[in-house]
Amino acid sequence: MGAGPAGLMAAETLARQGMSVHVFDAMPSVGRKFLLAGKGGLNLTHSEPSEAFATRFGDRQLHLDAALRQFGSEQVRAWAQGLGVDTFIGTSGRVFPADMKAAPLLRAWLQRLRGLGVQFHMRHRWTGWSDSGQLQFSTPVGTAVVRARALVLALGGASWARLGSDGAWVPWLTARGVGIAALRPSNCGFDVLHHSVAGTETRREFLRELIGQNPVIGWTPHFSDRFAGQPFKSVALSFTDSAGRHFSRRGEFVATATGVEGSLIYAVSALLRDEIQAHRSATLYLDLLPDHSPERVLAEVRHPRGARTLSSHLKSRLGLDGIKMGILYESLGKEGVNDPLALAAAIKALALTVVAARPIDEAISTAGGVEFASLDEHLMLRAVPGVFCAGEMLDWEAPTGGYLMTASLSTGLCAGQGAAQWLAAQPTAQPVLP
């Protein structure tokens, strides 16, 4: 069940083994989130060496190792080529279809699947099992029941519920004794602590006093009205959590109405989210001019500016303007920006405290899901033999950059192979019962 990348890959794997395969999905059409992911250019995988690629999955690397070795980035590119879709490696190492589009690849894939005999049942929303072990679906014409000899679940996490991934499956599997790690936002934005809570120590005291309450979040109305939706370009972000894990990278991100989001924020989102969960806040540092040394910044800030305004002076001497000047005023206030030492220090290490991840439905992906301890090496549920799980509903997370897509495809392949082996070993098996 599930007509995303993981479910379709499992369906293809089973169909190639001569199995009768039926795909059920709640949406009106196949691959809704897949198409959304390709809206700005479908990032299929990443070209970095397999050893580095595997590390992007953190402490879930060992659990995904077998699937990724069998179907990693090179295999993803070969698979796309087999569908008539050429790929190329971008400057960042990410791999895209030559035309950057998702729809042509999906159309070619569906044509292949239908040619293999795969049947699709759309607008079929799974509602769990009946007492007799039948799969129950809510459809436009009423309740439908289905029996299956093997079942692959590829139901996604809980982000972008309107595209089908709503996490509704959690209580049904929990009731069968399946271990589920709580679903949490991943590759997400964050709300910032309001600037009125100034200074590191004051922030800490403020947050300690707000145990069980909601801290004041968001930018000032002036900053939000003027800069929400605008990017911070060519900055460096650094963060060290309370366990000593360190992140440092250059890139871009965007100011939102209440905080921050975008590629650089997504890259550090897991560390920020976990730190907030443990300590109610996380403070990162922005270098607004990573190509300038602290000494040069201080010298330029101190350079006599004559009759020019401070904004004109900083734009002329350092190229600072727009949203970068805006956040300096937001953080330091008028008095602070007129203190050369404080201003120079903030330009090179501006403290930004975030206090809440954005809601899970806004996240690109989710962490948590079916625990690997509840699965065997073929991704079959130990508590429900004959039922396999794949894709984002498994307990792993990864940054954007092609890692999410590759892991979804590879676990779909692994689950499909596991289901085929299960069926071959039990040719007279009855429909799976929970």
Model confidence over 40-60: pLDDT tens digits?
Answer: 789 999 999 999 999 999 999
Would you tell me how many other CB atoms lie within 10 Å of the CB of residue 78?
A: 11
In a domain, 324, yes or no: yes
Regarding whether 279 and 214 lie in a shared domain, the answer is yes
Query: How many angstroms separate the Cα of 27 from the Cα of each of 1, 2, 120, 170?
Result: 12, 9, 11, 19
Pick the last residue of a domain from 299, 329, 357.
357
> Residue 85 half-sphere exposure, CB side, CA atoms within 13 Å?
24
Residue 429 has pLDDT above 60, yes or no: no
Regarding whether 236 and 149 lie in a shared domain, the answer is no
Residue 240 has pLDDT above 50, yes or no: yes
In a domain, 312, yes or no: yes
Regarding whether 162 and 89 lie in a shared domain, the answer is yes
In a domain, 434, yes or no: no
> Residue 273 half-sphere exposure, CB side, CA atoms within 13 Å?
23
Regarding whether 124 and 92 lie in a shared domain, the answer is yes
In a domain, 432, yes or no: no
Predicted confidence at residue 37, as pLDDT, reads 78
Regarding whether 401 and 325 lie in a shared domain, the answer is no
Its domain, for residue 252, covers 190-357
Regarding whether 160 and 90 lie in a shared domain, the answer is yes
Find the DSSP H helices in 280-365: 294-302, 310-318, 322-337, 340-348
Regarding whether 164 and 78 lie in a shared domain, the answer is yes
Paired tokens of 180: 């589920």
124 phi, psi to nearest 5 deg: -115, 100
What's the domain count of the chain?
A: 2
Residue 327 has pLDDT above 60, yes or no: yes
Beta-carbon contacts of residue 358 (< 8 Å; ≥ 6 apart): 185, 188, 189, 190, 191, 259, 261
In a domain, 278, yes or no: yes
In a domain, 393, yes or no: yes
Regarding whether 294 and 247 lie in a shared domain, the answer is yes
Residue 363 has pLDDT above 90, yes or no: yes
Regarding whether 351 and 416 lie in a shared domain, the answer is no
Residue indicated by tokens 């400057």: 91
Domain containing 131 — which CATH number? 3.50.50.60
In a domain, 430, yes or no: no
Predicted confidence at residue 214, as pLDDT, reads 55
Residue 216 has pLDDT above 80, yes or no: no
Task: Classify strands 22-24 and 119-121 as parallel, antiparallel or unpaired.
Answer: parallel
Min mean pLDDT across 35-39, 299-303, 331-335 is at: 35-39
Q: Would you say 91 and 433 are in contact if contact means Cβ atoms under 8 Å apart?
A: no
**DSSP-assigned states of every residue in 84-147:** T--EEE-TTSEEEETT--SHHHHHHHHHHHHHTT-EEE-S-EEEEE-TTS-EEEEETTEEEEE-
Q: How far apart are CA 77 and CA 53, in angstroms?
A: 15
Residue 270 has pLDDT above 80, yes or no: yes
Pick the last residue of a domain from 357, 382, 413.
357
Regarding whether 170 and 55 lie in a shared domain, the answer is yes
Beta-carbon contacts of residue 76 (< 8 Å; ≥ 6 apart): 44, 45, 95, 402, 405, 406, 409
Predicted confidence at residue 67, as pLDDT, reads 96
Find the DSSP H helices in 195-321: 200-209, 221-227, 263-279, 294-302, 310-318
Which DSSP state fits 215? -
Regarding whether 102 and 127 lie in a shared domain, the answer is yes
Regarding whether 53 and 182 lie in a shared domain, the answer is yes
Largest CA distance in the chain: 90
Predicted confidence at residue 201, as pLDDT, reads 47
Which residues, in sequence order, are bridge partners of residue 137?
A: 126, 144
Predicted confidence at residue 247, as pLDDT, reads 96
Helix (H, G, I), strand (E, B), or coil: what is residue 282? strand
Beta-carbon contacts of residue 115 (< 8 Å; ≥ 6 apart): none
Model confidence over 366-413: pLDDT tens digits?
Answer: 999 999 999 999 999 999 999 999 999 999 999 999 999 999 999 999
Pick the last residue of a domain from 298, 332, 357.
357
Predicted confidence at residue 196, as pLDDT, reads 59
Model confidence over 130-149: pLDDT tens digits?
Answer: 888 889 999 999 999 998 99
Query: How many angstroms separate the Cα of 28 from the Cα of each of 24, 107, 155, 393?
Result: 11, 15, 15, 21
What whole-number percentage of the chain has pLDDT above 70? 93
Predicted confidence at residue 126, as pLDDT, reads 93
In a domain, 127, yes or no: yes
